[in-house]
Chains A and B, each alone.
Chain A
């Protein structure tokens, strides 16, 4: 097994774990963590798959940097909304669907 494939497989597992977390977990903070795990999986695949013949490829690294910035912004927005929801309802879970 080459190291590129190893990175890709670990990344895929992380992505799947994160995706399951976002879909299944009710607690909002844990859900936000799960989203970040999902993102890390993607970044690992991006960087891992692209390193060919042992040398690193700068383009995916730049993409991952951009991706991290986006993920941080999204996490901040999610946390701000979660705090607001907690202040309004006292709960850290989304209310059940309205009838």
Chain B
């Protein structure tokens, strides 16, 4: 067999390998919960109140003649929070998840139509698009829907239709695996391409020149951390090299799972550093990476096991 075909088969086998449905459910809970949080803490009114001259629509926002009003933004924000929470709970996923994603696209589109496209939530949105494409597979475990159905049955005192409400054994399947691994590849590509563009447009001078110092100084009010690094050229070169190496090597987490213990905390630390030094919020990106790459059923089982080993506290003597 020729090499490209073999490689393609290997990739296909990896992407479409079987997976525990609870892992996909955990990704659903995490990503939708994060989306609800993003809706709740963002101030879309800032851009909704901008004068018409500041409306510079990008991509699909060109469908809008002007910036949606603050009232529309508030309605979308409330709908988005409710829909995202319902989707996180696994309720009416066919309706709740598309609604949450549409609200997110419009509200993020508003933020991106005010003069600068903000990359912060792009990775989260890409992962949500994958979740959207996998249909109801993401709500087949760890969902409130099944509990609600059982409670309703008990309330009505109707005889339970055996197989429907009986606790189903956890069966792994291909349909639970490809969404997780596609999201993993999307995240890995996001980091790799950010590094690739630096090599493409700047090359080694991105590390060896004063570039990072200039980025850190180029703020109205640089933070103490920004000035601490920018005032020390050698330290700035080390940070520049570290971040470029991290971005370029990030796809290794796909092939070498052990490297996740190093590279995932690495990107979290990089984004926290960027938040403090440049006041740029990439929390949605690193949280999406943590949600997608951590094997939550294993983590939950480990925590349960660890807690079971801890002896119960005795009652204090009186």
Q: Do the two chains bind?
A: no
List the interface of chain A (C-beta within 8 A of B). Answer: none
